[in-house]
Copies of this chain bind each other. A is one copy, B any other.
Amino acid sequence: MAQTLIAVVGAGVAEAEGMAQAEVVGQLIASQGWVLICGGLGGVMAAACRGGKLAGGQTIGILPGPDPNAANPWVDIAIATGLGEARNTIIAQAAAGLIAVGGEFGTLSEIAFALKLGKPVIGLGTWQLYRQNKLDRTIQVAQDAEMAVALLKALV
């Protein structure tokens, strides 16, 4: 049976705290025996992949451009799509669940697609979504990397 893919989504440029969290998330994903899937570039994506490799796991990068060498050095399998930002939809579709660490508008698009597709999304310092001034609680909020992975484990 094919392996369980878990996405880590977050900004290509991130601050130290988010980077540290993403690295631990990557380690814990690998420890679960899950394969880490992400956008394959820098920032949170690179930190998560580095964590995954440190813990002996496997990492996949779904790249926007045509060149697999654009992947960060901790990506094992670089899938160059040439689809631009639309590659975000593939990450959300392919993953059994997502952990969002911080993030900008690209991350928000991955969260939104995952929610649309009914995938579990765990947030770690990421977007909060309100409708009519009321918080939408579909994103489950974690306080740290351990809690994020524990919450996701209960859902996939």
Interchain CB contact under 8 A, A68 and B5: yes
Asked if A155 CB lies within 8 Å of chain B CBs, one says: no
Copies held by the complex: 4
* Distance between Cα atoms of A97 and B53 in the complex (Å): 27
Determine how close the nearest CB of chain B comes to the CB of A10; give it in whole angstroms: 12
Q: Please provide the 10 A-B residue pairs with the shortest distance between their CB atoms, ordered closest to farther.
A: A2-B78, A109-B112, A108-B112, A105-B116, A128-B130, A86-B89, A105-B115, A82-B84, A82-B93, A79-B94
Spell out A's residues near B (CB within 8 Å): 1-3, 5, 35, 37, 60-62, 66, 68-69, 71, 73, 75-86, 88-90, 93-94, 96, 104-106, 108-109, 111-113, 115-117, 125-133, 138
